Amino acid sequence: MFFKIKKILPGPVFFFFALVSLFARDVEIIVEDTELSLPLEGAVIRSWDGKQYTCDAEGKAIVSAPDERPVVIQAAYPGYENGRLVVVPEKDRFTLGLNLSGIMESKELVIEASRPGNSETKTGRSVAVSEKEITQTGEIGLIEDVMTTIKLLPGVGYAGFFDAQPSIRGGDPGDLIASLDGYYIVNPYYWGGGFSIFDPKIVQSAQLSHGVFSARYGHTISGLLEIASKKPSPVETEFELGVNTSAANFNLSLPLFGRGGIMFMGRVTYYDPFVWLAKKMAGLDESLEAINAVRVAPYIRSGTLTGNYRFYDDLEIYATGLWGSDGVGVSYENSSDEDGLESRSDMFFDWNNYQGFIAAGLNWNPRENMLLNFSAGTGYEQAKLDADIVNDIHKPFSEEFQQRYGELLGAAESYDFNAENTFSEDTTMINAQGRIDYNWEIGGGFLAAAGVQEMFSRWLVDSNYRILSEIPLDDLLAGDRAAGLSGADKSLLDDLYEKYPELYINFPAAFAMNIDNKLYTSSGYTLLEYNSPGRRFGAEAGLRVDHFYLAGSGFSVQTMPALNPRINFDFNVFRSKWIFNSLDLSAGTGLFSSMNKMVSLADSLYGIEDFDLKPNRSWTSVAGAKLEFAGGFSFNIEGYYKYIYDRGYVPVEVGIGEMSPEPYFDGVGRVWGIDLMIRKLQSRYWDGWISYSYNHSRYRDPHGGNSMSVTAGGSNEDGWYYPSYHRFHNLNLVFNLRPARRINIYTRFGLASGLQLSRIIGGIKSYPVVVYEEDGSMKFIEKYRRETVRDENNRTTISLPLDMKFSILGYSRSGKAQYEVYVAVENILALVYTSKGNTSFNSYTGKEDTGSNSASYGLPIPVPSFGFKLSY
C-alpha cells in the first residue's frame, strides 16, 4: 500500500467507492506554494468521489476519505500547475505543494506514504527536520553544517562552537552513529570532530532516533542520525551555486529519461588565498606575523554523488557516493622572557584525513503488498597525524624553594628543562557492509518485516607516542609502574620519598601500536507491526540480534549474541476536539547494543578471551505524549530511563617505560531525563520551536580507580561520577520571522547549564619535581600547582549562545530561478558575557592569569558569516 505509486482507478469503480464511503474519515489537507511554503487560500480540491472543497485562509480543507485504502485527490489554483496527492489510511494530515505555472510542464505531483526508514517525527522514537528547517538553522557560521541544526533538538546536549559530537540523552558523544542514505559511516567528521561531513546543501532531511526505535536499526546505545541526501529531478536539469564565509558549493542534477536522475554535489573551502594574502601583509604589519606559522591552510574538500532510476513502478535502483578530505599544517615558534622565566616553544602539527564510500541498493515490489530491499557498499578512511611540541625552560629557583629543598638542589640556583611530547599516527579503516530487508503487508493492519546485515571493518594502525607524565612519586613506587627502573634507581627514589613524601616525578611514557584488526558484525531482525483502522492504536514488537567477531595478529575473540527485544505502543486518545487536532500517547522499552570503538586498538597483549569481549548494552524505556493544536502548533513531551551495562573502558597505568592499557567490559550507568518540544509548523509569518531537556547521567567504572582512563570522566569515592560532557539543562529557542514575503529573520537563543568543574581548595604553591630522563639521569625542578578536588556540585557557569541570521529570498518571474542572500552573527552575547570556569596559571612561575576563566568550550568573540545561493 505504501510501497508503490498507485494508478488512478477508472470511473466505473466510483460506484463501489460510494458504498465503502460509509466507513470514511476526515483528513486535513493543506495546499501551499512549494517554494515559499505559503498557504494558498481559495485553492480548490477535487476529491476522489467527485466532491469539491475550497481551502481557507490557512490553505486548509477537511476532506472525507475511506478508512481502509488509499485514494487520489487533485488540487488547482490560478497560476499554478495542478497537483495530485495520494491519501493513505495511515495519516490524517497531508500537505500538497503546488508549483508556479511553467515550472513543471506536463508533470504530475504524486506523494506516496512513507517507506520504512523515511524521516519522520514519532513520539518516543525520533525527531526529524526538513530541508527547509536545515537551510534556516544549519546554513550559518564559518562552516555550514547539518549538526548545527541537530544540536538544537530535544535530547541533544550543548557542545559549544567547534564540536559536532554532542551527547545524546546522556550517552557518550562517540556512541552517536550516522548514516547517509542507509550507509553507516564510522567517523562522519572533519577536523577531528569539529564539524560533520554533512553539508546542508546536500541534505533533504535528517532524523535523529534517540528513543526506542525500530529493531531494523542498531549499532548504537545513544542515538542514530539518519541523513537523506537530495534526490535528482527525473524530468529537469537543475543546478545550485553557493558561496559562504569559507566555502563554495555546487550542485548539478541531470534527469534520466523521466525515470530517475543523477546529482553531483561538491564543496571546497578557500582559506588558502586568505592565508597567502595575510602572509604577504605580515611583512608590513608585525601584528600579523603569527599567520606565518600556518604551513597548510585549514581545508575541507568534498564531493557527493546520488542517483536513482525506476525501471518499472515496482523496481528501482539507487546509489550514493561520498569523498571528502580535510587537514591543516602548522609550524610555530615563540620565545619569551617574563617573570624570570626564559622559554622557547616549538610546535609542529600536521593533520590530514581522507574518507569516502560508495553504496548502491535496489527496491523491488515482488507483489503489491511486499517490498524487498538489497543494499551494499564499501568505504575507507585514512587519518594521519604528526605532531612535535617542545618547550625549553630556563628559570631560577625561588628563594623559598631553595631554603626548603637546599639539600636536594645543592649549589644549583636555576634549572633547565626540556619538555617534549611527540605524536605520530597513521590509521586506515576499510569498511564493507550489506543488508537485505523484507517487508510484507499481511492485511488487517499487520505488517511483518525481517532482515539481515553484515558489516566488516578492518583497522590498520601504526602509531608512536611519547608523552611526559607527572604523578606523585608514591603513586609510581606503590605498584608496577616502576617496573622499568633499575634496582639502583628504584632504591634512590625510595630514599627520596622517605625524606620528601611530597615529591612528584616527571618522566616520559611511551606507547606504540602496530595493529591489523578485523571486526565482523552480523545482525538480524524480525518484527511485527499493527495499526488499527484510523490508526487509533498501533504497536511494534521486534527482536534484533547482534554478534561481533574480532580477529587480530595472534588472537581472535567473539561475543555472545546480543539479544535486543523491543516493543512500542501508540495510542490516539482523540482527534478534532475543540482547539485540539489530536492527542497521542506512546510507550516503549527495549535493549540496544554497540561495539565500543576502542576494540579497534585491541592487541593480543590484552589477554581477552572468547566471550570476555562484550558490546556496550543499554536497556531503554520511553513514555511520551504529543498534543497537536489547530494552527500548526504541537507540544511533545517524553520521559526516559536508560540502564547502561557491559560498557567498555580502558584504565591506563602510566609508569616508567611503556603505558599498559587493560580493557574492561563491566562499566555501568544510569541515565534519566525529560525532553519537551513546542513546535510551530512553517507558515507565512513565523515558525520555529522551543526545546528543553533535563538529563541526569551517572557512570561507574569498577576497575577505573585513580588511573588514567580512556573514559568520559573521573570517579568519586563511591565510584559513580557525572561524565565530563554532562549538563543538567539544555534550552533552545528557534524563531523565524517573515515580516515580508522575501525576508526571513532567524534567531536562535540557547541556555545550557555548566559542566563538571574541579573545586579549588588551596592557593598556588611551589612543589619539588624529580625529572627522570630516558637515559636514567635525574635532576630537580621547581613547579607550581593548585590543589583541587572533584566536587559533583561545582560547575562552570551557564552558557548563553545567541545567533541571528538575516536572509533575503527571491525568484525570477517564471519561478525557475531562485536566490538567497544572508548575513549572520553567532555568539552575539560574547560581547557582554562568557561562561566562566577556573582561572589558569603558569605552572613554572605560579603567576595566575586573572582573565583566563572563560570556559574552554566558549568563544570569546561574536563570529560573523555570510552566504549567497542561486538555484535554477
| Average pLDDT for 204-209 | 94
Check residue 109 and give its pLDDT.
Answer: 32
| Average pLDDT for 19-41 | 70
Check residue 102 and give its pLDDT.
Answer: 40
pLDDT at 563 over 90: yes
Check residue 106 and give its pLDDT.
Answer: 32
- DSSP-derived letter for residue 485 is S
| Average pLDDT for 267-273 | 89
Three-state DSSP at 305 gives strand
Confirm if 463 and 512 have CB atoms less than 8 A apart: yes
Percent of the chain with pLDDT over 90: 59
CA dihedral (287, 292, 297, 298) positive or negative: negative
Confirm if 770 and 780 have CB atoms less than 8 A apart: yes
pLDDT at 713 over 50: no
CA–CA distance, 153 with 31 (Å, rounded to integer): 27
Q: What is the pLDDT of residues 374-417, one digit of tens each?
A: 999 999 999 999 999 999 999 999 999 999 998 888 888 999 99
Check residue 482 and give its pLDDT.
Answer: 80
Q: What is the pLDDT of residues 508-523, one digit of tens each?
A: 988 888 899 999 999 9
pLDDT at 20 over 60: no
Check residue 558 and give its pLDDT.
Answer: 92
Check residue 40 and give its pLDDT.
Answer: 87
Residue tagged 610546535 (cell numbers): 347
* Residues paired with residue 531 on neighbouring β-strands, in sequence order: 538
| Average pLDDT for 531-541 | 92
| Average pLDDT for 422-440 | 96
- Cα–Cα distances (Å) from 778 to 310, 581, 609, 617, in that order, read 74, 77, 41, 47
Residue 483 grid coordinates: 617496573
pLDDT at 104 over 80: no
Grade residue 476 by pLDDT with cuts at 50, 70 and 90.
confident
Residue 355 grid coordinates: 574518507
Check residue 69 and give its pLDDT.
Answer: 63
CA–CA distance, 278 with 747 (Å, rounded to integer): 33
**Sequential DSSP letters for 33-91:** ETTT--B-TT-EEE-TTS-EEE--TTSEEEEEEESSS-EEEEEE-TTB--EEEEE-TT-
Residue tagged 538553522 (cell numbers): 137
Three-state DSSP at 51 gives coil
Ranking 6-15, 62-71, 294-303, 564-573 by mean pLDDT, the lowest is 6-15
Closest CA to 826 of 859, 852, 855, 797: 859
Closest CA to 161 of 867, 747, 856: 856
Amino acid at 697: S
* Buried b or exposed e, range 527-559, using 16+ CB within 10 angstroms: bebbbeeebeebbbbbbbbbbbebebeebebeb
Residue tagged 557527493 (cell numbers): 304
CA–CA distance, 395 with 534 (Å, rounded to integer): 80
Three-state DSSP at 803 gives strand
Residue 155 grid coordinates: 535530547
> Half-sphere exposure (CA, 13 Å, Cβ side) for 245?
16
Grade residue 24 by pLDDT with cuts at 50, 70 and 90.
low
Check residue 160 and give its pLDDT.
Answer: 85
The torsion region of residue 607 among left (phi > 0), alpha (psi -120 to 50) and beta comes to left
> Half-sphere exposure (CA, 13 Å, Cβ side) for 513?
25
pLDDT at 67 over 80: no
CA–CA distance, 706 with 718 (Å, rounded to integer): 12
pLDDT at 672 over 90: yes
CA–CA distance, 176 with 167 (Å, rounded to integer): 8
Q: How many residues does the chain have?
A: 872
CA–CA distance, 852 with 841 (Å, rounded to integer): 8
Q: What is the pLDDT of residues 578-630, one digit of tens each?
A: 889 999 999 999 999 999 877 777 776 567 788 888 999 999 999 999 999 98
The torsion region of residue 720 among left (phi > 0), alpha (psi -120 to 50) and beta comes to beta
Check residue 6 and give its pLDDT.
Answer: 34
Q: What is the pLDDT of residues 146-180, one digit of tens each?
A: 999 999 999 999 998 889 999 999 999 989 999 99
- DSSP-derived letter for residue 156 is B
Residue 640 grid coordinates: 526516559
Grade residue 715 by pLDDT with cuts at 50, 70 and 90.
low
| Highest-pLDDT range among 52-61, 296-305, 334-343, 705-714 | 296-305
Three-state DSSP at 173 gives helix
**Sequential DSSP letters for 180-206:** ETTEEES--EEGGGTEES--GGGEEEE
pLDDT at 834 over 70: yes
* Residues paired with residue 322 on neighbouring β-strands, in sequence order: 304, 357
CA–CA distance, 346 with 764 (Å, rounded to integer): 27
| Average pLDDT for 349-355 | 96
Percent of the chain with pLDDT over 70: 90
Gyration radius from the chain CA atoms: 30
The residues, ordered by sequence, that sit 6+ positions from 481 with a Cβ below 8 Å of its Cβ are 475, 653, 654, 655, 656
Check residue 851 and give its pLDDT.
Answer: 62
Q: What integer best gives the mean pLDDT of the chain?
A: 86
Q: Are strands 224-229 and 177-180 parallel, antiparallel or unpaired?
A: parallel
| Average pLDDT for 127-141 | 92
What's the whole-model pTM score? 0.84
pLDDT at 115 over 60: no
How many Å separate Cα 238 from the centre of its chain?
A: 30
- Cα–Cα distances (Å) from 857 to 51, 162, 499, 854, in that order, read 60, 8, 42, 8
Residue 655 grid coordinates: 609508569
| Average pLDDT for 409-427 | 92
Confirm if 523 and 544 have CB atoms less than 8 A apart: yes
Grade residue 319 by pLDDT with cuts at 50, 70 and 90.
very high
pLDDT at 679 over 60: yes
How many Å separate Cα 654 from the centre of its chain?
A: 32
pLDDT at 186 over 50: yes
